[in-house]
């Protein structure tokens, strides 16, 4: 599905919570932004009352080991951005300034659902500028042992085909294929939570990570058991969350993608590397826009609508 015009939020909206790795309380405010602004993070609360503006693009990524991090620790960074970025991409939000007063996004319930609810609370407004896309022209692929991630041409929209394979019987092999749209993202993807193994979490605790991890924001797996008393939100919640992460990570292309993404046993690092491979050669992609802003003005003049040109569009 191709969205015709750029969108932003109708008004600011705030959320707060703790970071899953830092355990620190953090507050974010999502601000409307002008057309062609893109998604940017305004990192506040730095030493000497400094602030730093960080573009949400693959060129600003500094780490992908446990989550996706933009910026750098010395000058200012924001980590665990993938769930918020997935919500923006999933709902078709193009232009937002994300003000954040700490080093890590709040984990909330471990999914994108709270961000979706916040965006729905204020609604979206359509802007006059035509939406631009990164159109994949040639296949690009990265591999790491048995794992791979690839981007393939697809003129019709953005398709994701995600395949995971874990030894534990709780997960096993799961695959999900979707053509991304706001309705599909809301219903099939947004509520899927992050997950981890207790053996890994205990190791992370010892080295100062996962300080905010709990059964309130993560699916915990211990051997062949799920520790969360409420169980799973979907029978295949694990692959759905991996797909959610991929939506968020691939949004760092800077513009929505026209293409098909496929992965097997991928993750944040593989998602980042396939974007690097895409942009490494200009013949791999092109930028397309549909339609030009002036075409909207002409269409509106001909239709003689009574509604204002920038009436909000709720999603």
Is 21 labeled as ligand-binding? no
Map tokens 């949400």 to a residue: 56
Pairing mode of beta strands 285-290, 124-136 = antiparallel
Q: How far is CA 55 from CA 77, 168, 255, 271, 273, in A?
A: 11, 38, 12, 18, 18
Compute the chain's Rg from CA coordinates.
19
Q: Are 271 and 246 in contact (CB under 8 A)?
A: yes
Strand partners of residue 150: 141, 262
Q: Are 219 and 226 in contact (CB under 8 A)?
A: yes
Whole-angstrom Cα distance, residue 97 to residue 105? 14
Whole-angstrom Cα distance, residue 301 to residue 26? 46
Is 241 labeled as ligand-binding? yes
The catalytic residues are: 268
Give the helix ranges, DSSP H, for 193-267.
198-206, 237-250
Is 31 labeled as ligand-binding? no
The 3-state DSSP class for residue 44 equals coil
**Cis bond upstream, residue 153 (ω within 30):** no
Among the listed residues 206, 212, 204, the one whose alpha carbon sits nearest the alpha carbon of residue 16: 212
Whole-angstrom Cα distance, residue 275 to residue 61? 11
Whole-angstrom Cα distance, residue 167 to residue 112? 26
Q: Taking the chain, what is the end-to-end CA distance rounded to the nearest angstrom?
A: 15
Detail the residues annotated as belonging to a binding site: 83, 241, 245
Detail the residues annotated as belonging to a binding site for Zn(2+): 83, 241, 245
């Amino acid at each position: 599905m191709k969205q015709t015009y750029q969108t932003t939020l109708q008004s600011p909206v705030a959320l707060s919570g703790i970071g899953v790795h830092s355990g620190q309380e953090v507050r974010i405010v999502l601000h409307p932004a002008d057309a062609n602004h893109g998604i940017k993070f305004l990192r506040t609360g730095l030493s000497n009352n400094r602030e730093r503006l960080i573009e949400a693009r693959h060129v600003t990524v500094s780490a992908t080991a446990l989550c996706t991090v933009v910026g750098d620790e010395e000058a200012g960074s924001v980590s665990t951005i993938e769930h918020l970025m997935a919500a923006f991409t999933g709902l078709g939000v193009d232009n937002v300034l994300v003000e954040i007063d700490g080093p890590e996004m709040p984990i909330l319930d471990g999914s994108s659902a709270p961000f979706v609810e916040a965006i729905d609370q204020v609604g979206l407004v359509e802007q006059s500028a035509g939406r631009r896309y990164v159109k994949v022209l040639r296949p690009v692929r990265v591999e790491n042992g048995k794992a791979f991630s690839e981007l393939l041409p697809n003129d019709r929209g953005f398709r994701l085909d995600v395949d995971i394979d874990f030894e534990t019987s709780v997960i096993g092999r799961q695959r999900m294929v979707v053509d991304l749209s706001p309705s599909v993202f809301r219903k099939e993807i947004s509520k899927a939570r992050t997950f981890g193994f207790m053996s890994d979490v205990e190791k992370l605790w010892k080295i100062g990570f996962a300080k905010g991890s709990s059964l309130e924001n993560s699916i915990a797996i211990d051997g062949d058991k799920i520790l969360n008393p409420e169980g799973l939100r979907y029978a295949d919640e694990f692959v759905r969350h991996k797909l959610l992460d991929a939506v968020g990570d691939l949004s760092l292309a800077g513009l929505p993608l026209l293409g098909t993404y496929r992965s097997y046993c991928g993750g944040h690092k593989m998602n980042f590397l396939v974007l690097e491979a895409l942009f490494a050669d200009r013949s791999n992609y092109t930028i397309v826009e549909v339609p030009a802003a002036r075409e909207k003005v002409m269409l509106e003049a001909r239709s003689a609508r009574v509604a204002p040109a920038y009436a909000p569009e709720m999603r």
